[in-house]
């Protein structure tokens, strides 16, 4: 790439406020977590006329000539033609996004769809075990462009694991992590500690930690990698590109994902909106965002209060009132989505409008049963991930999803993130009672046998 083209590509990408009545733009060198003028979220925006977007869907992952192989090995940067905000030598990768769309006939049977039409996009196979690595590649790239030296996040666990892994692997930045006390799954905490992140337990939950990290990063000039960072969402768009790729460049009818801070759903909506804008996709998949019942702000606002994006003029006063009067704390075994104040709410409303999307909430029982069925595919996901499958079952049961539909569920994180939930479920040891959970539908209890050959043989035969 000639220096001249690099500069052109650079100028053609910028940041823009999502509020249509503001629409202020900012150049890429500014580090912002919201619009300084109106307080809304920012997008990374592109002037596609000055770039070279692919002309056919099947070309979106084609490597451009002369490009270093390093980037083509990344499941994020091999799609860089659709997130062209960084010069190629600034792009950070630790091997994120090498994930596959997998057929899931048992899940299909469980939810009542055709066995060859249900797919799982298993993002647990990322370097730190969750989809967050897709976004972190984008955030670290921007951080490198602006020369940041310290990065921070508030986290239910996976963002901190991803931040810590990227910081350690690249040596670019120091990592500072804020978690709610006692609110983090063991696997995730182990990662932050092992990868050397400075870890602070705030007395409180994720929503408390999130509010604090916004203040801390502003006061201390620390680079924030939570999903209010628009560069993170650019990386997460690629999860959708890989689903399209996995389906031979055909769009599924539905994409389902869990909804926590709503960064993923927002990124997915942006990915599809841009593909439509570029004329690469005529019919967009419908998005279903699934909350846990114990953390169902989005579901309440959309389904009970009728909140809509409304071309960007959504009822902000009503949202503020909702949060002002929200007294209860989020509570669900799906700790990655145990969030009552989702920071990307407005962008998610936009994604729902663009994709004619829906929102549902599922109980912890439904989520853990769905997770056990996913497990029978030989795919291990953490509780929050299984919300997408639980939501699928519910939407098929309601008749909202057609029985012939082609469906992709995003499995956001790896089983080993939260082994305590899985063992509690299968062993029925009562440890999940604090979530109000009794025995589930698909337990697989370990069998205790004395150390005696006859008795062991007897038990093995009985199990067949």
> Which residues sit at the interface with Zn ion, rule CB under 5 A?
17, 19, 22, 24, 35, 37-38, 40
| Position closest to ligand PLP via CB | 413
Nearer to Zn ion, 34 or 170 (CB): 34
For the CB of residue 170, give the shortest distance to ligand PLP in the complex, in Å.
21
Residue 263, binding choice from ligand PLP, Zn ion, none, Cβ under 5 to 8 Å by partner class: ligand PLP
Q: How far apart are CA 93 and CA 75, in angstroms?
A: 9
The answer to the question of residue 262 lying near ligand PLP (CB under 6 A) is yes
The answer to the question of residue 337 lying near ligand PLP (CB under 6 A) is yes
Nearer to ligand PLP, 145 or 333 (CB): 333
The answer to the question of residue 9 lying near ligand PLP (CB under 6 A) is no
Among 336, 351, 408, 432, binds ligand PLP (CB under 6 A): 336
Q: How far apart are CA 386 and CA 257, in angstroms?
A: 9
Q: In what order do the strands lie in the sheet with 25-26?
A: 25-26, 13-17, 42-46
The answer to the question of residue 388 lying near ligand PLP (CB under 6 A) is no
The answer to the question of residue 261 lying near ligand PLP (CB under 6 A) is yes
Residue 38, binding choice from ligand PLP, Zn ion, none, Cβ under 5 to 8 Å by partner class: Zn ion
Nearer to ligand PLP, 71 or 384 (CB): 384
Residue 22, binding choice from Zn ion, ligand PLP, none, Cβ under 5 to 8 Å by partner class: Zn ion
The answer to the question of residue 217 lying near ligand PLP (CB under 6 A) is no
Q: How far apart are CA 240 and CA 233, in angstroms?
A: 12
Nearer to Zn ion, 40 or 133 (CB): 40
For the CB of residue 456, give the shortest distance to ligand PLP in the complex, in Å.
38
The answer to the question of residue 391 lying near ligand PLP (CB under 6 A) is no
Nearer to ligand PLP, 71 or 165 (CB): 165
Structure-block tokens of residue 302: 């959309």
Among 18, 412, 425, 435, binds ligand PLP (CB under 6 A): 412
Pattern 220-259, ligand PLP, x by CB under 6 A: -------x------------------------------xx
Residue 17, binding choice from ligand PLP, Zn ion, none, Cβ under 5 to 8 Å by partner class: Zn ion
Identify the residue whose tokens are 């029978």.
376
For the CB of residue 369, give the shortest distance to ligand PLP in the complex, in Å.
17
Nearer to ligand PLP, 108 or 184 (CB): 184
Q: Which residues pair with 152 in a beta bridge?
A: 176, 224
Among 152, 358, 384, 390, binds ligand PLP (CB under 6 A): 384
Query: Are the C-beta atoms of 166 and 195 separated by less than 8 Å?
Result: no
Residues 133-162 that bind ligand PLP (CB under 6 A): 158
For the CB of residue 318, give the shortest distance to Zn ion in the complex, in Å.
19
Give the phi and the psi of residue 146 in degrees, each rounded to 5: -100, 0
Residue 37, binding choice from Zn ion, ligand PLP, none, Cβ under 5 to 8 Å by partner class: Zn ion
Residue 385, binding choice from ligand PLP, Zn ion, none, Cβ under 5 to 8 Å by partner class: ligand PLP
Q: How far from the centroid of its chain's Cα atoms is residue 28's Cα?
A: 23
CA nearest 77: which of 28, 120, 140, 124? Answer: 140
Among 10, 132, 232, 237, binds ligand PLP (CB under 6 A): 132
The answer to the question of residue 382 lying near ligand PLP (CB under 6 A) is yes
Pattern 263-282, ligand PLP, x by CB under 6 A: xx------------------
Q: How far apart are CA 117 and CA 39, in angstroms?
A: 42
**Do the bridges between strand 407-411 and strand 118-122 make them parallel or antiparallel, or are there none, so unpaired?**
parallel
For the CB of residue 314, give the shortest distance to Zn ion in the complex, in Å.
14
Nearer to Zn ion, 185 or 349 (CB): 349
Residue 19, binding choice from ligand PLP, Zn ion, none, Cβ under 5 to 8 Å by partner class: Zn ion
Query: Are the C-beta atoms of 255 and 288 separated by less than 8 Å?
Result: yes
CA nearest 389: which of 370, 408, 415? Answer: 370
Q: How far apart are CA 54 and CA 40, in angstroms?
A: 30
Binding site for ligand PLP (CB under 6 A): 130, 132, 158, 227, 258-264, 336-337, 382, 384-385, 412-413
């Amino acid at each position: 790439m000639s220096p001249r083209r690099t500069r052109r590509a650079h100028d053609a990408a910028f940041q823009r406020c999502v509020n249509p009545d503001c629409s202020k733009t900012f150049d890429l060198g500014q580090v912002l977590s919201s619009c300084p003028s109106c307080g809304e979220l920012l997008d990374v925006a592109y002037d596609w006329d000055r770039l070279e977007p692919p002309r056919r869907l099947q070309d979106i992952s084609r490597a451009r000539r002369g490009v270093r192989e390093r980037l083509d090995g990344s499941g994020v940067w091999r799609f860089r033609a659709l997130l062209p905000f960084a010069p190629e030598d600034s792009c950070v990768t630790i091997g994120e996004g090498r994930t596959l769309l997998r057929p899931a006939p048992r899940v299909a049977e469980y939810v009542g769809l055709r066995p060859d039409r249900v797919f799982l996009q298993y993002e647990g196979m990322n370097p730190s075990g969750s989809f967050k690595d897709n976004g972190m590649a984008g955030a670290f790239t921007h951080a490198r462009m602006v020369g940041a030296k310290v990065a921070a996040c508030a986290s239910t666990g996976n963002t901190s694991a991803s931040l810590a892994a990227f910081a350690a692997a690249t040596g670019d930045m120091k990592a500072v992590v804020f978690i709610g006390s006692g609110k983090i799954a063991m696997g995730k905490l182990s990662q932050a500690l092992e990868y050397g992140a400075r870890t602070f337990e705030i007395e409180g939950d994720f929503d408390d930690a999130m509010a604090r990290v916004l203040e801390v990063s502003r006061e201390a000039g620390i680079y924030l990698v939570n999903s209010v960072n628009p560069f993170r969402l650019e990386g997460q768009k690629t999860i959708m590109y890989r689903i399209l790729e996995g389906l031979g460049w055909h769009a599924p009818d539905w994409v389902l994902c869990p909804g926590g801070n709503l960064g993923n759903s927002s990124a997915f909506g942006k990915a599809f909106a841009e593909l439509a804008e570029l004329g690469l996709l005529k019919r967009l998949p419908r998005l279903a965002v699934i909350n846990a019942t114990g953390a169902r702000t989005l579901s309440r606002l959309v389904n009970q209060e009728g909140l809509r994006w409304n071309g960007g003029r959504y009822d902000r006063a009503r949202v503020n009132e909702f949060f002002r009067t929200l007294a209860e704390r989020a509570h669900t075994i799906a700790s990655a989505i145990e969030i009552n104040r989702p920071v990307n709410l407005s962008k998610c409303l936009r994604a729902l409008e663009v994709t004619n999307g829906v929102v549902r909430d599922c109980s912890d029982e439904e989520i853990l049963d769905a997770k056990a069925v996913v497990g029978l595919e030989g795919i291990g996901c953490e509780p929050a991930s299984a919300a997408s499958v639980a939501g699928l079952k519910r939407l098929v049961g309601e008749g909202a999803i057609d029985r012939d539909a082609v469906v992709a569920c995003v499995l956001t994180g790896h089983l080993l993130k939260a082994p305590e939930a899985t063992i509690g479920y299968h062993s029925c040891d009562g440890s999940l009672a604090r979530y109000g959970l009794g025995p589930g539908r698909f337990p697989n209890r370990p069998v205790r046998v004395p150390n005696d050959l006859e008795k062991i043989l007897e038990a093995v035969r009985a199990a067949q």
